[in-house]
Chains A and B, each alone.
Chain A
Amino acid sequence: ELKVEQNPLFLSMQEGKNYTIYCNYSTTSDRLYWYRQDPGKSLESLFVLLSNGAVKQEGRLMASLDTKARLSTLHITAAVHDLSATYFCAVDRGGGSQGNLIFGKGTKLSVKP
Chain B
Amino acid sequence: DAEITQSPRHKITETGRQVTLACHQTWNHNNMFWYRQDLGHGLRLIHYSYGVHDTNKGEVSDGYSVSRSNTEDLPLTLESAASSQTSVYFCASSAFRSRRGGLDEQFFGPGTRLTVL
Chain A residues close to B by CB (< 8 Å)? 31, 33, 35, 41-45, 48, 50, 88, 90, 92, 94, 97-106
Any chain A CB within 8 A of the CB of B18? no
B90 with A43: CB separation less than 8 A: yes
Chain B residues close to A by CB (< 8 Å)? 31, 33, 40-45, 48, 50, 56, 58-59, 90, 92, 94, 101-111
Task: Give chain A residues whose Cβ lies under 8 Å from the Cβ of B102.
Answer: 31, 92, 94, 98-99
B45 with A100: CB separation less than 8 A: yes
Q: Which of A35, A41, A42, A106 has the most CB of B within 10 A?
A: A42
- Chain A nearest CB, measured from B8 CB (Å): 15
B45 with A42: CB separation less than 8 A: no
- Chain B nearest CB, measured from A99 CB (Å): 4
B33 with A99: CB separation less than 8 A: yes
A-B contacts, 29 listed (Cβ < 8 Å): A35-B108, A41-B110, A42-B109, A43-B90, A43-B92, A44-B108, A45-B106, A45-B107, A48-B104, A88-B42, A88-B43, A90-B43, A92-B103, A94-B102, A97-B56, A98-B102, A98-B103, A99-B48, A100-B45, A100-B48, A101-B33, A101-B43, A101-B106, A102-B45, A102-B59, A103-B42, A103-B44, A105-B41, A106-B42
Expressed in whole angstroms, the Cα–Cα distance for A43 and B90 within the complex equals 9
Which residue in chain B gives the minimum CB-CB distance to A6? B42
B106 contact from A94, A99, A104, A106, Cβ within 8 A: A99
A101 contact from B40, B41, B45, Cβ within 8 A: B45
Task: Give chain B residues whose Cβ lies under 8 Å from the Cβ of A105.
Answer: 40-42
Which residue in chain A gives the minimum CB-CB distance to B96? A98
B108 contact from A31, A43, A48, A92, Cβ within 8 A: A43
Nearest 5 A/B pairs, CB to CB: A105-B42, A99-B103, A103-B43, A43-B108, A45-B105
Q: A45-B106, A100-B58 are in contact. Are A50 and B101 (CB under 8 A)?
A: yes
Expressed in whole angstroms, the Cα–Cα distance for A94 and B102 within the complex equals 8
